[in-house]
Structure 1
Amino acid sequence: MDEAHVATPQEELVKLSRVEQAQLILARLMEGGQEDDETCRALDKLTKLLNDDTEALKRDKTHEPIVDIIDDVCVDTIFGYLDMRQAEIVRGHGTLTASAFFNAAGEKGSGALPHFFFERIKRGTYDDYILAFCVAAAVFPIVPGMTSDMFLTEGFLPSLGPLMRRKWKSRKVETACLEMLNAASMNSQCREAIVKYCTEWLEEIVDQDPAELDTAVHHADAGVDIQGSIAMKRHSEAVQNLAAVILAKLRAVPSAQASTAAAGLEGTRIQPAITSIEDLSKKFTNMILTNAEHERQHSVEGLAYATIQPTVKEEVANDKQVLQNLVKILAQSPPKSPLTYGTLSIFLNLTRYQPNQSEEEKRINQLKAYTNAAGKLAAPNPLNDHSHVSTRCKAVFESNVVPVLVTHSRNGSAASLSIIISIIHALAVTTSIRGPLAQQGAVILLIAAWTALPEAEAPAKRTAAQALARILISTNPSLVFGGTRACPQTSAIRPLASIIPPDPAAETRDLLPSFETLMALTNLASTDDDTRSAIIRAAWPQIEDQLLSSNNLVSKAAVELICNLVQSPSGIELYAGSGDAASDGAARNRLNILLALADAEDEGTRSAAGGALASLTSYEPVIKSILSRERWVQVVLGLCSEDNEDLRHRGVFVVYNVVACDGETGKKAIEMVKAENGIEILKECAKKTRRPEVVEVAVTALKILLES
């Protein structure tokens, strides 16, 4: 006889209602004593039930939520898994459960958090302090408004100073408290309060004098009920480092209160000694140089804030060993981790250029600076000028960071990918390193990033496309895309085409991306007909729009691109027409514009337009269309009369093409050229030139005119 099947806990759970499932899971979590993986599975099941409950309530307002069964004891249980003494993996799963609880609980959750927090603070045991601070630190990013209101409750922050200054210390309490302050310092209001109530004792922790430390003694404050390990008289190194990170945030992003205090102290003879951002940065760089793995997160996070300051940027960029250690840390950091994000932020700070400003924007910013400085005009820091940033960019590039960026770009989050793009964008400003950037995989990185990022990340996509354009302006496409590389050069066209029009979301009109992408496409269009055809298919309307740009550089770049595009059958068809009325009408309009640009004020624009006409007039349909245009002869003979050899070459080539045409078209062209004194102009052109190829074409055209 077969043995009866014994149901597993999972099978038993499925048979229960949602409320009963939640009750059973909470009972197991309260009981504790499970292995970490079992605890994580239980937390995940509760998270799913809460998330499903939230969705069900959106669909059906009469739905009975399971959150109603979560009382204070259950809340204590959930928050207990955010304790720093739990395994890291358990804390991660517990954070997700807490987030699901707040989403599902609504007003109940907003009351549960402060009740839990202040109950623990009132008890006053070290265990309760640790748990309260750990919960506040963990949920700050989840419910920042709720947590900051709790954090700013009157009397709470001033109470932390006496706790941290106790002679006999619990390092876990100190660590938990500082983790909470570290999370809270991301909020501007909380940062103001931390500056007011906590700066002094944070300074004391960082500046602790080792000579004054007694040996560890097992003793406790009389008024504190210590549960667990007995603490010692000194602040631990980890606590000092964490306090330094918080101070770095306060110094890097000065509060209004700190600025007011500094203004009030100005002129007084004695000012309180404070730890400067430079002092803190030295502490962080020393930690990075010693390569202590257990302190990497604190050192990187602190330096990420410290490098907002120009003086610190210079110090870090000029220390090759620090840069190399940062590259190693980045290479060893897991994707999507805080350590990865922090290290990338350091490199971003080192390479960030100041945004381009119009004259009007500069005047407005000067007025703001004058107002904020109480009548003193703040001059821009010279360490942020183009020269200094360029030097820092070269130092960062020489640290061999690009291959590591390429690796991280494949598995990173959208946030880290945006930072990587910004770093490459800044490095690509320096012309001399564009080729090496391409060799190290930056082009493929940028194309892949542009493709992977959603439309919601429009600024990052535009930055990626502009960085790609900068690199492709200065590199040979066959070297970038040739060989066995899996990425064809046509894959760069869509990203580039996307930034030909100016950014519609920008407050000011920046034409630099348009100019750079047109130049990059011109370089690509110099290669083969397939690429030229692909550019026309993907970007022709945008290219045509830039022909009549108010900016001469953009207009010239567009004509230069067209000069390359008309070397292909697809480009010729745009100007020759395809036989139907609409196509032929559009082709005639395009020729009108090209002839007008051949007579433009800018020499480069005339040269590019003349080159395009020299190619197009090899085809009779184009010649017939040109002959019907007013002033075409004057424009072309004007090119022949130029002082520039290249322009004369283009002019005589167009004359030769039209007068050498067979049949009635050629006869008509000859008559029109003669009527505008073309023979004398060509003779003079041949006399002035020193280039044999120009003389040869001019003489051949003259022979046709004279023999006719």
Structure 2
Amino acid sequence: ALLPLALEGTSVGMTKATQALAKVAITTNPEIAFPGQRMLEIVRPIIKLLKIEHTALENFEALMALTNLASIGESVRKRILKEDGFSSIEQYMFEEHPMLRRAAVECMCNLVVQEEVMKYFTGENDRIKLLVLLCGENDELLIKATLGTLAVLSSLQADLEYIKDLNLEDEERKRLNNLIQDNRIICEKILDVKPFTEIFKQLCACNNPDLQFRTFYIIRNIVKSNKELAIRIVETELMDILFAIKEIKVDRLVNEKNRKIASDIVELCLKYGLIQRNKDHTIQEEDETTTTN
């Protein structure tokens, strides 16, 4: 009954009906509340609720609803993109209102799962820079969502060692090569943000294991991308933290999952030959030299 009211009627009536739809999408599993085609049909009115002339609450609820909808599946994410949802959501990532900004990033985190969204971040723009800078804010929930977004964007959902030997069709091979190229562009963009090292040092050493894991995950993605980018990581103070994390055996300080991913990063750098094991099984950078009197 709400959907027709959200699509037709007076401006006030459509806004109220759409806000009610958004509340339902927030509080109830959208797959149950809006089965089948109806879930796609509510996307347009909810996106139209994202306007600066609407109240902060209306915008916030629209973003929360779209976050839930985007998590459902590809068809809904495609509809969000078709209805110009990307730009509508993105504008709130620049908001000074902390809850609106956080909700926008959380929504974007679910949207970037869609493969074609990566292209929005590989072009000549500062979208990756904004995400890295948001990681330096004081809002842990915002940082969590931002790191999640960067983690997805920097991930290459393919095992290159396995795929390179497969007999792929030309179109599939081309698609894979494009994904690899986009992945490297995004990883390089992350590293190109001037305060990247300082921001990620703080996150690597933070006492929030979830934020710490997401940070390590992004660093691992960058190192996996290619040797040249791995060199840039090795040249930073991040490696000192990773070496230290790898050796901490007290779970209340660093949990096993985080210790494992830090070790994975170190092992990747060892494989590249960027660092080496000493005789005492400690690790040093490849170009380090020691002198004795």
Q: TM-score range by the shorter chain?
A: 0.7 to 0.9
Q: CA deviation at 1:706?
A: 5.1
Pick one of 472, 479, 483 that aligns with 2:25: 472
Given residue 452 of structure 1, which amino acid in structure 2 is its aligned partner?
E
Query: Are the structure 2 counterparts of residues 481 and 467 from structure 1 closer, same or farther at C-alpha, using a change threshold of 3 Å?
Result: closer
In structure 1, C-alpha distance between the alignment counterparts of 2:144 and 2:121, rounded to whole Å: 18
Q: CA deviation at 1:670?
A: 2.9
Query: What corresponds to 1:134 in structure 2?
Result: none
Task: State yes or no: 1:566 paired with 2:112.
Answer: yes
Query: What corresponds to 1:556 in structure 2?
Result: 102
- Residues 70 and 107 of structure 2 are in contact (CA less than 8 Å); yes or no, is this contact kept in structure 1? yes
Query: What corresponds to 1:654 in structure 2?
Result: 218
Q: Deviations over 1:78-102 (max 9, x none)?
A: xxxxxxxxxxxxxxxxxxxxxxxxx
Counterparts of 1:506-517 in structure 2 under 5 Å?
510-517=55-62
Q: Deviations over 1:38-88 (max 9, x none)?
A: xxxxxxxxxxxxxxxxxxxxxxxxxxxxxxxxxxxxxxxxxxxxxxxxxxx
Query: What corresponds to 1:493 in structure 2?
Result: 43
Query: What corresponds to 1:376 in structure 2?
Result: none
Task: State yes or no: 1:502 paired with 2:52.
Answer: yes
Query: What corresponds to 1:448 in structure 2?
Result: 4
Q: Deviations over 1:588-628 (max 9, x none)?
A: x1111111111111111011001111111122220122222
Task: State yes or no: 1:603 paired with 2:140.
Answer: yes
Report the number of matched residues.
242
Query: Are the structure 2 counterparts of residues 450 and 610 from structure 1 closer, same or farther at C-alpha, using a change threshold of 3 Å?
Result: same
In structure 2, C-alpha distance between the alignment counterparts of 1:640 and 1:531, rounded to whole Å: 35
- Residues 77 and 111 of structure 2 are in contact (CA less than 8 Å); yes or no, is this contact kept in structure 1? yes
Query: Are the structure 2 counterparts of residues 684 and 518 from structure 1 closer, same or farther at C-alpha, using a change threshold of 3 Å?
Result: farther
Counterparts of 1:211-226 in structure 2 under 5 Å?
none
User: Which one has the largest radius of gyration?
Assistant: 1
In structure 2, C-alpha distance between the alignment counterparts of 1:467 and 1:494, rounded to whole Å: 14
Flag structure 1 segments of 5+ consecutive residues without an equivalent: 1-444, 505-509, 577-583
- Residues 637 and 651 of structure 1 are in contact (CA less than 8 Å); yes or no, is this contact kept in structure 2? no
Query: What corresponds to 2:194 in structure 1?
Result: 630
Given residue 471 of structure 1, which amino acid in structure 2 is its aligned partner?
V
- Residues 18 and 49 of structure 2 are in contact (CA less than 8 Å); yes or no, is this contact kept in structure 1? yes
Which deviates more from structure 2 when the two are superposed, residues 663-672 or residues 536-545? Answer: 663-672
Secondary structure at the residue paired with 1:500?
A: coil
Given residue 106 of structure 2, which amino acid in structure 1 is its aligned partner?
E
In structure 2, C-alpha distance between the alignment counterparts of 1:451 and 1:684, rounded to whole Å: 59
Q: CA deviation at 1:552?
A: 0.7
Query: What corresponds to 1:679 in structure 2?
Result: 242
- Residues 637 and 681 of structure 1 are in contact (CA less than 8 Å); yes or no, is this contact kept in structure 2? no
Query: Are the structure 2 counterparts of residues 684 and 573 from structure 1 closer, same or farther at C-alpha, using a change threshold of 3 Å?
Result: farther
Q: CA deviation at 1:685?
A: 7.5
Higher relative contact order (CA 8 A, sep 6+): 2
Task: State yes or no: 1:615 paired with 2:152.
Answer: yes
Query: What corresponds to 1:481 in structure 2?
Result: 34
In structure 2, C-alpha distance between the alignment counterparts of 1:685 and 1:466, rounded to whole Å: 49
Task: State yes or no: 1:585 paired with 2:138.
Answer: no
Counterparts of 1:154-193 in structure 2 under 5 Å?
none
Secondary structure at the residue paired with 2:220?
A: helix
Q: Deviations over 1:512-533 (max 9, x none)?
A: 1111111110001111122122
In structure 2, C-alpha distance between the alignment counterparts of 1:598 and 1:686, rounded to whole Å: 27
Flag structure 2 segments of 5+ consecutive residues without an equivalent: 156-182, 275-293
Query: What corresponds to 1:295 in structure 2?
Result: none
Query: What corresponds to 1:184 in structure 2?
Result: none
- Percent identity between the aligned chains? 26
